[in-house]
């Protein structure tokens, strides 16, 4: 473990914001536009499932002439329109702003598209605290590939092991660990607070505010984007 960590790479969905309810509402509203009523589905029917896989699961229920790209664009449009209903996870905004005041570089690394990433950061009102963000549109492979987190460390100009990644899923932990970052697993009610996968994270967080202990104010550094 390095003596001092120098930056934070945040996952967003499920780590900083509880976005799954809005994702589901956007899915239902967009599908209704094209004549398919999905209101029979449970609210969390596709929690943690990539939208491309959701398309495959629902393909038989959607209009044969409907293109995946058109459907996905409609979902994203509804998501962006509903972003003001999003709520941060406990301690998310406070922790981000505290680190920003200390001069700790922060980035977001997400498996969501650019529109959704920007909508989430806007809803949380923390975009100004981020050095940059990486969306699924910005990489050739998303998580669990190491590419998103490896790219974040490279853009920061830092050794991967000095960057702390905060994740709530096995997919994200695998990505961060494979890229060489110090990967912390956030225990939430949605993931059950229990880790059972491989590789194991480098540590656990019971609360997002616990992250501040790794960044004493006098040890913070500042990077320009």
Domain assignment present for residue 153? The answer is yes
Model's pTM, two decimal places? 0.89
Q: What is the pLDDT of residue 48?
A: 67
Full residue range of the structural domain in which residue 29 is found:
20-84
CA-CA distance, 104 to 106, in Å (whole number)?
Answer: 6
Domain assignment present for residue 203? The answer is yes
CA-CA distance, 153 to 183, in Å (whole number)?
Answer: 13
| List of residues 6+ apart from 6 with CB closer than 8 A | 104, 105, 158, 162, 163, 221
Domain assignment present for residue 1? The answer is no
* 51 and 99, same domain (yes or no): no
Domain assignment present for residue 181? The answer is yes
Q: Is 30 within 8 Å of 77 (Cβ atoms)? A: yes
Give the Cβ contact number of residue 5 at 10 Å: 21
* 68 and 156, same domain (yes or no): no
CA-CA distance, 217 to 154, in Å (whole number)?
Answer: 24
Phi, psi for residue 25 in degrees, rounded to 5:
-60, -40
- Per the structure block, which two tokens stand in for 175? 């990505």
Query: Which of 53, 84, 115 is the last residue in one of the domains?
Result: 84
Number of domains in the chain: 2
* 44 and 127, same domain (yes or no): no
Query: Which of 51, 84, 117 is the last residue in one of the domains?
Result: 84
* 142 and 204, same domain (yes or no): yes
* 80 and 92, same domain (yes or no): no
Q: What does R_g of the chain's alpha carbons equal in angstroms?
A: 18
Domain assignment present for residue 225? The answer is no
What CATH number is given to the structural domain containing 213?
3.40.50.1000
Q: What is the pLDDT of residue 195?
A: 80
pLDDT digits (tens, 9 = 90+) for 101-115: 999 999 999 999 999
* 98 and 154, same domain (yes or no): yes
| List of residues 6+ apart from 222 with CB closer than 8 A | 103, 105
Q: At what angle do helices 20-33 and 68-81 cross, to 10 degrees?
A: 130
* 113 and 211, same domain (yes or no): yes
Give me the numbers of helices (H) and strands (E) for the chain, helices first please.
7, 6
pLDDT digits (tens, 9 = 90+) for 1-23: 444 899 999 999 999 999 999 99
Q: Which residues of the chain have pLDDT under 70?
A: 1-3, 48, 218-225
Q: What is the pLDDT of residue 220?
A: 47
Domain assignment present for residue 118? The answer is yes
* 103 and 52, same domain (yes or no): no
CA-CA distance, 215 to 24, in Å (whole number)?
Answer: 36
* 121 and 183, same domain (yes or no): yes
* 117 and 202, same domain (yes or no): yes
Query: Which of 38, 55, 84 is the last residue in one of the domains?
Result: 84
* 99 and 191, same domain (yes or no): yes
């Amino acid at each position: 473990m390095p003596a001092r960590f120098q930056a934070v790479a945040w996952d967003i969905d499920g780590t900083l914001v509880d976005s799954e309810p809005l994702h589901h509402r956007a899915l239902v509203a967009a599908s209704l536009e094209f004549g398919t009523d999905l209101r029979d589905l449970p609210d969390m029917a596709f929690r943690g499932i990539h939208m491309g896989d959701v398309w495959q699961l629902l393909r038989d229920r959607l209009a044969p002439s409907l293109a995946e790209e058109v459907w996905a664009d409609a979902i994203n449009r509804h998501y962006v329109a509903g972003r003001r209903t999003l709520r941060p996870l406990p301690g998310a905004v406070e922790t981000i702003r505290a680190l920003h005041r200390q001069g700790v570089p922060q980035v977001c690394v997400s498996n969501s598209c650019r529109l959704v990433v920007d909508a989430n950061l806007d809803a949380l009102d923390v975009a100004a605290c981020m050095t940059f963000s990486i969306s699924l549109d910005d990489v050739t492979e998303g998580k669990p590939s190491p590419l998103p987190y490896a790219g974040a460390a490279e853009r920061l100009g830092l050794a991967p092991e000095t960057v702390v990644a905060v994740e709530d899923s096995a997919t994200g932990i695998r990505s961060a660990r494979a890229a060489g970052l110090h990967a912390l697993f956030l225990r939430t009610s949605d993931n059950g607070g229990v880790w059972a996968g491989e590789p194991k994270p480098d540590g656990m967080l019971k609360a997002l505010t616990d992250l501040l202990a790794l960044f004493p104010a006098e040890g913070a550094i500042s990077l320009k984007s």
